Amino acid sequence: MAIKYWEFEDAPLKDKLKSVNVKEVAKIFFDNETEAYRFATLLLEVKKARELRLKNVPKDIPIATAKRYLDFGVALGLLKHENSTYIMTDRFSKPLRNIATYIKAWQDSQNEEDLSVQFANAKMEKQQKRGGVTRDQMSGSESEAKQ
């Protein structure tokens, strides 16, 4: 985790609160652009839909990856996981007060955000399978076995 406390001191925080966005939230926790993009995408989906199930995860993020990032959000206190859904929450400890203030301001904002602009250098396509059997190969071998 790469929390940069100096960016969330009282004076810089007031400037940041004027234009909140999900990129800043994700960049608090991830230095890597791709990881921050995936986390931001999932947070934005939870925010828009008020709740997110793994079956409703965007197609460009694998379900296992989404679960890992969503569970990370639960561990941070950003999300709550109940009844197979992820919901926004705001359970932060006192040392993260200013970060919590920024995240709460982002949650309450109604701004439209374009992640492709905010994370221009992130790898947005789904990674190719490295080994094992693909779904297409499985369905092909099942149909051959039935014949």
Q: Where are the domains of the chain?
A: 5-146
For range 62-76, the mean pLDDT: 91
pLDDT at position 86: 94
Whole-structure pTM value: 0.61
Residue 79 has pLDDT above 70, yes or no: yes
24 closest CA partner among 87, 107, 131: 107
Instruction: Give the model confidence (pLDDT) of 107-132 as tens digits.
Output: 888 888 888 777 777 877 777 777 66
Q: Whole-number mean pLDDT of the chain? A: 78
CA 147, CA 38: separation in Å to the nearest integer? 42
